[in-house]
Structure 1
Amino acid sequence: MGVVRTIVFPALRLLVWALIAVALLYIAFVRGSGEDTEAAASPSAVVDPPAAAVVRGDVTNTVSLQGSIQADPATTVKATATGVVGKVRAEVGDDVEKGTPLFTVVVTTEPPPATDPLAPPAAPTTRTVTVSATVPGTLATLDVLPQQAVTVGDAVASVSPGTLTVSAPMTQAQQFRLLQPPSTARVTVPGGPGTFECTDLRTGTPATTPATPDPDAGYVDPYADPSSAMTGATVSCAVPAGVQVFAGLSATVDVTAGSATGVLLAPVTAVQGSVGTGTVWLVADDGAQVETQVSLGLTDGQNVEITQGLEEGQQILQFVPGTDTPAGQPGGGMYGMGY
């Protein structure tokens, strides 16, 4: 036992410590060498950005807008003479035509000063002026009474045309798509009559643009697509006579501003730019990405017509570099449209 304790056990302890030292040296100088580090740092796979082919197809530029039915504003009738109201000839609710008499104004004119101080004073003269409706419609208001004094320019009545208009606001992107709007649109009123065609389509822009954001406008998402912001511009068209709708109802307005068949198409996500000209990234045979200028035509919101700059079958990046790709694609997430 003395030999085991004094010789064997110490020898075993030295052997164990030696094995531990060898293992540490192996980890430090072999496993941690530059070759293994370089191999570990190399990616196991390279993911190429998705590409899309330029194809031929059909495109229809139809913009769908959410709006409402509105009553056309009444026309104000103003007094055309200064005097006293004589006879009222119409009542609120009457159907009137242009030129229908509404009331009369008695105008009194004082005589000029007499040249002969002994002569009796001359009596004032009077004449009657008739104030008439200026447009056809229904008399909405009549704010005069007999013997009431009125002055030229006073608002004394209003005539409602009895017609309706469909009006819908536009986003920035929709406004660019309707630079050359047609004269008609298709309107659908939920729960109402079938889809009908409205006429005299017009686009309007705001008279003024606010210099600073409205602090009471609520939260504005800083990451929202700027093209989805409302600009204040609207699309409006006249509801034809005989269509049974009412002011205040919601409506969907579909405006078709052109179509083309058998044209070159590219995804809107692949194009940077929206009107006239844009930029795409052409994928060359060697995989290089070549920035290429193109001319743009119609779009349906998904594809855009390429009128110049590309040929059928060429491969382009499906998404503008620097934008995210949709979920399910490599590096997925919300994507920003280039068009």
Structure 2
Amino acid sequence: MGFQLGVARRWVFPIIWMLIFGVIAAALVKFAFFGDALNAESLEYPTVAIEEQHYQVATGTITNDVELTGSIAAAAPVPIPATLSGEVREVAVSAGQSVKKGQEILKLRAEVVNPDGTSGTQWKIVEAPASGKLTDFTALVGSSFQVGSPVGNVAPPSYIVSGTVPSEQLYRLVDRPTEATVAINGGPAPFTCTGLSITFASASDAGAEAATGPTVSCTVPSDVVVFPGLTADITIAGGIAEDVMMVPITAVEGVAGTGNVHFIMPDGTTELREVVLGLNDGVNVEVVSGLEVGDTILQFVPGAEAGDDEVLPDNCFKEADEVVCY
């Protein structure tokens, strides 16, 4: 009995394995020769639809704050220009001395010809154009200068904070603010700097400006302790518009002065409309005229390339220069 059971087991298991291998082989043959039976119609695929997103014009508040990163540096020396082409006759100060704005620096004398043809002498006093310490001052009695040439410099005891702003952002600063809010990393509480100025590169530095942008700078208050080389966050308030019509910047061709939007007509077609624009915050732009609250427009200008910082709806993504939504 035991012998027969052993023989049965010896034959049953090989037969089972042969059946398993046979099923696998049959499946492989089916996939190899009849794979076209599994066509797209018998499978389910996730689908997406490319559709134009609409935006309904609404009201809101636009805060036009331009933010950039800058650094702290000592204020640039101020040249002391000669006020007459002539000879130094008196020197009232010495190099390294601290002076106040309007203080006498030296006197110049020149021999001139009067309108009646007679000879005469003209005197001019050169004054400090700013308060600070005299630097590069080498004027001596008997030395000569041409009018406008520097007799030395005054280094103000102040600091400035400066940074570069992308040229296109200047459209947001048309009103030219005169101050900015500065926050120094690891420094004192945010403070207001005054005398805000925007400096453009000279013709020889035009290439550098194209790569970086104009320089924005303002003076650090004298009671704020800072050090050269510190980094700072600069916020320039360009104005605020409350309870105004606004649309996404992505919906407008042009965002300064005037622009065009694609208006949705009642029959679903679009019409290009010109709008007058106001403030923008980098995401939305104020519409002064050309639309009414409740109007519907395309949220994205057709064919426009999305920038790296473009904010898309949660159900949309960028693919091959097209906005795809699902």
**Which TM class, normalised by the smaller chain length?**
0.5 to 0.7
Check 1:141–1:171 CA distance in 2 against 1; reply closer, same or farther (3 A cut). Answer: same
Given residue 150 of structure 1, which amino acid in structure 2 is its aligned partner?
Answer: S
Q: Letter of the 1:263 partner, please give it.
A: V
Asked if 1:195 is matched to 2:182, the reply is no
Alignment of 1:1-339 (within 5 A): 47-77=50-80, 81-82=86-87, 89-92=93-96, 94-98=97-101, 100=103, 133-143=128-138, 150-153=143-146, 155-208=150-203, 230=211, 232-324=213-305, 329=316, 332=319
What TM-score do you get using the length of structure 2 for normalisation?
0.66
Higher strand fraction (1 or 2): 2
Report sequence identity in percent. 34
The one-letter amino acid of 2:145's match is: V
Alpha-carbon shift at residue 88 of structure 1 (Å): 7.8
Q: Residue 52 and residue 130 in structure 1: after superposition, are their counterparts in 2 closer, same or farther (change >3 A)?
A: closer
Task: Indicate if the aligned counterparts of 1:52 and 1:318 stay in contact, CA closer than 8 A.
Answer: yes
The amino acid across from 1:152 in the alignment is F
Shift of 1:171: 0.9
What SS does the aligned partner of 1:177 have? helix
Superposition RMSD in Å? 3.5
When residues 234 and 334 of structure 1 are mapped into structure 2, their CA distance, relative to the original with a 3 A threshold, is farther
For residues 31-55 of structure 1, give each alpha carbon's deviation from its aligned partner in whole angstroms, at most 9, with x where no partner exists.
xxxxxxxxxxxxx986321112211
2:134 maps to amino acid: L
Question: Would the alpha carbon gap of residues 248 and 188 (structure 1) be closer, same or farther in structure 2, given more than 3 Å must change?
Answer: same
For 1:181 and 1:300, locate their aligned partners in 2 and report how far apart those are by CA, in whole Å: 16
Deviation string 1:273-309 (CA, Å, 9 cap, x unpaired) is 1211101111223321221111111111111111111
Q: Is the 8 A contact 2:95 2:138 kept in 1?
A: no
Say which SS state the counterpart of residue 273 (structure 1) adopts: strand
Please identify, of 251-260 and 74-83, the stretch whose mean Cα deviation from structure 2 is larger.
74-83
- Output the CA distance in 2 between the equivalents of 1:286 and 1:131: 76
**Secondary structure in 1 matching 2:214:** strand
How far apart, in 2, do the equivalents of 1:268 and 1:100 lie?
A: 53
**1:202 counterpart letter in structure 2:** S
SS in structure 1 of the partner of residue 170 of structure 2: helix
How far is the alpha carbon of 1:271 from its aligned partner?
Answer: 0.5
Aligned residues: 256
Q: Report the 3-state secondary structure (helix = DSSP H, G, I; strand = E; otherwise coil) of the residue aligned with 2:136.
A: strand
My pick for the range that moved more, 202-211 or 275-284, is: 202-211
The 2-side partners of 1:83 and 1:238 are apart by 34
CA shift for structure 1 position 231 = 6.4
Q: Which residue in 1 is equivalent to 2:24?
A: none
Aligned counterparts of 1:74 and 1:312: Cα–Cα separation in 2? 54
CA contact (8 A) 1:324 1:332 kept: no
Secondary structure in structure 2 of the residue aligned to 1:181: coil
CA distance in 1, matches of 2:193, 2:91: 41
Quote how far apart the aligned CAs of 1:263 are: 0.9
Return the letter of the residue paired with 1:274.
Answer: V
* CA–CA separation in structure 1 for the residues paired with 2:273 and 2:64: 24
Greater C-alpha radius of gyration: 1
